[in-house]
Amino acid sequence: MAKYKICSSMKNKNLVGDIVQVQNIKSRGGIKQKHKPKSTRDLLIEFMGEQRGYNTLIEKKFQV
């Protein structure tokens, strides 16, 4: 992915139809670490928590 910095442009803030000069910026830093995918167990625990919250909401809604 390349990043650019605007060097010069007209004073129009919309930059529509203006001639804009840009400069390529070299990225600093190293390699981004990829996120470790969640295990099946973690996904199941997350789902069960969400389901428990939903079930509680429905029970409260239909209690007389």
- All structural domains of the chain with their residue ranges: 3-26+38-62
Considering the entire predicted model, what is its pTM?
0.40
- DSSP 8-state code for residue 12: -
Cβ atoms of 5 and 26 within 8 Å: the answer is no
Q: Could you give the maximum distance between any two Cα atoms of the chain, in Å?
A: 68
pLDDT band at 62 (very low <50, low <70, confident <90, very high): confident
Q: What is the pLDDT of residue 15?
A: 57
Give the CA-trace dihedral at 45, 51, 56, 60, to 10 degrees: 170
In this predicted structure, the answer to whether residue 2 has a pLDDT above a threshold of 70 is no
CB atoms within 10 A of CB 9: 13
pLDDT in tens, 3-48: 767 776 666 556 566 666 777 777 666 556 677 788 899 999 999 9
Strands (E), 1-64: 3-8, 21-25
